[in-house]
Structure 1
Amino acid sequence: MSGGDAKFEQGWFPYEPSKPTRLISPIVLAYVGDAIYEVAVRQYLVSLPNLRPGHLHRTATSLVSAKAQSAILSHLEPVLTEEEQSVARQGRNAKSGTIPKNANVLEYRHATAFECLIGHLYYTGQHERLQELVHSSIEFVMNRP
């Protein structure tokens, strides 16, 4: 068995990062944060009564779009700690090399900042804070006019 298989057998979730979180690129944190946030959104939607698959998809898309995540970051900024603001700033300033499809560049960068923050909180084990911010994010988007 390779080392990867042994780690899988010992408790594969969550994987520990291969280096200290502070050394992980903001783009990589955003990559992980995107997945963590999407799973949280899907879990939230599945908890609601009587949602059909098409409605689930449309609602999930409205919560995870770059435009929504950009608005979420603006909504959360007043309650972020200095460390969280710094992480978000690093995510916003990171060069991803990706061209946004359904958002402008500013929205895309703010969405990356939000995802970077989520990835950072996940990998630093700040799961209570992560849940708090994700809950606030979902409530904010779901209650927007």
Structure 2
Amino acid sequence: MDNKGLTDSNMDLNNDGMQDELKENLCESGKIADLAGVIRDTFGLKKIDMRTYSPLALAFIGDSVYEIIIRSLVTEQSNRPANTLNKAKVRYVNAASQAFIIDSIMDKLSEEEEAVYHRGRNAKSYTSAKNQSVIDYRKATGLEALCGYLYLAGRLDRVLELVQYGVKLLDEKKK
């Protein structure tokens, strides 16, 4: 990023309501369908061709998308101390669990989604798995790349659908 800060943009801070283009990104139910699009519009960013993102850039944003979903689930289950919430989160946010989830949802993926997953899984990363197998780490990176791709494509609904299905199966396995 150049010398611009996160708040340097074309947004009008005195706008009383949401801008029209932001409203278009809201579902009828009021849920945000395209959070990445809302962020781009708010900060005056141009949409980048999805094919130009490296798989590790997709995994970078996808890691956060996956984590915010899991953190939201854990937090909404009950109001607990942060340390307890973190322990509950780790059950789902680790390479072994993410590898299980991607293995469980592979038959639910479209050809395009599967290709994105494989690009992420096969990407050469310069970080190593910490206390996890290399295979699980690569599968987790592939899942994160898929989450990032779908998020940036305005398909947060699809990310939620896949993660919900995978988490359900993981919970059944760990009972």
The TM-score normalised by the length of structure 1 is 0.88
Residues 66, 102 of structure 1: 8 Å contact kept: no
Read off the aligned partner of 1:88 and give its amino acid letter: Y
Residues 59, 142 of structure 2: 8 Å contact kept: yes
Identity %: 33
Give 1:1-145 correspondences, 5 Å limit. 5-7=8-10, 14-15=39-40, 19-145=48-174
- Cα 1:58–1:8 change in 2 (3 A) is farther
Q: Work out the CA distance in 2 between the residues paired with 1:17 and 1:105.
A: 36
**Residue 138 (structure 1) shift:** 2.4
State the 4+ residue runs in structure 1 displaced beyond 3 angstroms.
7-13, 15-18
Q: What's the CA shift string for 1:78-105, capped at 9, x where partnerless?
A: 1111111100000011001111112111
- Cα 1:32–1:49 change in 2 (3 A) is same
- Cα 1:54–1:24 change in 2 (3 A) is same
Q: Work out the CA distance in 1 between the residues paired with 2:48 and 2:101.
A: 29
For structure 1, the residue ranges without an aligned partner over 5 or more in a row are: none
Which of the two has greater helix per residue? Answer: 1
> Larger radius of gyration, structure 1 or 2?
2
Residues 63, 147 of structure 2: 8 Å contact kept: yes
- Cα 1:106–1:127 change in 2 (3 A) is same
Question: What is the RMSD of the two structures over their aligned residues, measured on CA atoms?
Answer: 2.3
Higher RCO, Cα 8 Å, sep 6+: 1
Q: Secondary structure at the match of 1:143?
A: helix
Residues 101, 163 of structure 2: 8 Å contact kept: no
Read off the aligned partner of 1:106 and give its amino acid letter: I
Read off the aligned partner of 1:141 and give its amino acid letter: L
Which stretch shifts more, 60-69 or 4-13?
A: 4-13
For structure 2, the residue ranges without an aligned partner over 5 or more in a row are: 14-21, 23-35
Read off the aligned partner of 1:85 and give its amino acid letter: E
The TM-score normalised by the length of structure 2 is 0.74
**Residue 118 (structure 1) shift:** 0.2
- Cα 1:51–1:98 change in 2 (3 A) is same
